[in-house]
């Protein structure tokens, strides 16, 4: 399975997770995910803005235009209460899923 296919199912979780720490704008979100994953998750950024806008329309994120540290205005995203609940639910689901996958296929990479 390609990384981009794996990424599709986890986009929302990744965005919500990095935004749970602080407000970020689009490029920073992509960069933060790339850094945290040790560049393992780096499929390009075309997926990012559609996902951000959908989360905003769903009420999980709020966005405001603000001056950035490097100059021009950027659109900062912040987790809402609904977004926090969504993150908790998705994180729990992902934990269960990852554990189950590991139980079935764990150790095969060493074989």
Partner 1 sequence: MPEPSAPDRTDYLQQVADRLPFDDAQKVDILRELAGHLADSTAHLERQGLSTAVAERAAVERLGPAERLANELTTARHTPRRLLAAAGAGTLAAAGGVIYGYLFAALALSGTSIAAFVVGSYLHWFGPSTGDGLDGSTITLVALGVGAYVAARRLTLTVAGRAGYHIRLARRATALVGGGLVLLYALVGWRGALNWPEVGILLSLPAWFVVGAWRASDLRFPSPKWRLQVIGLAFVVVLAALGLGFNQQANGEGSGGFHPTGVEKLGLPTPDAILAATLSEGIAATATGSTQVFIDISDRSLLAGWTDFRIEAWPGSVQAGSDPGLAGLVDPAAKAPFAVEPAYLEAGPQSNEGGPIPPDGAQLSGAVTTDRSPGVRLAWIALTGVGPDGHRYILEGPSFKSTTFNGTAFDWLSAVISGR
- Residues at the contact surface with partner 1, assessed by CB under 8 A: 25-27, 31, 44-47, 49-51, 53-54, 57-58, 68, 70, 72-75
Q: State the minimum distance, in angstroms, from the CB of residue 10 to partner 1.
A: 17
Q: How far is the CB of 2 from partner 1 (least distance, A)?
A: 15
Number of Cβ atoms within 10 Å of the Cβ of 21: 9
- CA 48 remoteness from chain centre: 9
* CA atoms of 47 and 29, how far apart (whole Å): 12
- 48 CB-near residues (< 8 Å, 6+ apart): 15, 26, 29, 30
Query: Which residue lies nearer to partner 1 by CB, 54 or 99?
Result: 54
When the beta carbons of 40 and 97 are compared against partner 1, the nearer one is: 40
**Minimum distance, C-beta of residue 91 to partner 1, in the bound complex (Å):** 22
Spatial distance between the Cα atoms of 37 and 95, rounded to a whole number of angstroms: 17
């Amino acid at each position: 399975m390609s990384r981009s296919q794996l990424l599709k199912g986890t986009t929302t979780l990744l965005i919500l997770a990095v935004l749970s720490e602080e407000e970020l704008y689009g490029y920073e979100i992509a960069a933060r995910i790339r850094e945290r994953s040790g560049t393992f998750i780096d499929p390009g950024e075309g997926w990012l803005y559609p996902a951000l806008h959908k989360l905003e329309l769903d009420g999980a994120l709020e966005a405001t235009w603000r001056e950035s540290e490097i100059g021009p205005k950027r659109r900062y995203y912040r987790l809402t209460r609904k977004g926090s609940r969504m993150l908790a639910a998705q994180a729990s689901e992902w934990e269960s899923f990852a554990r189950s996958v590991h139980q079935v296929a764990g150790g095969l990479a060493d074989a």
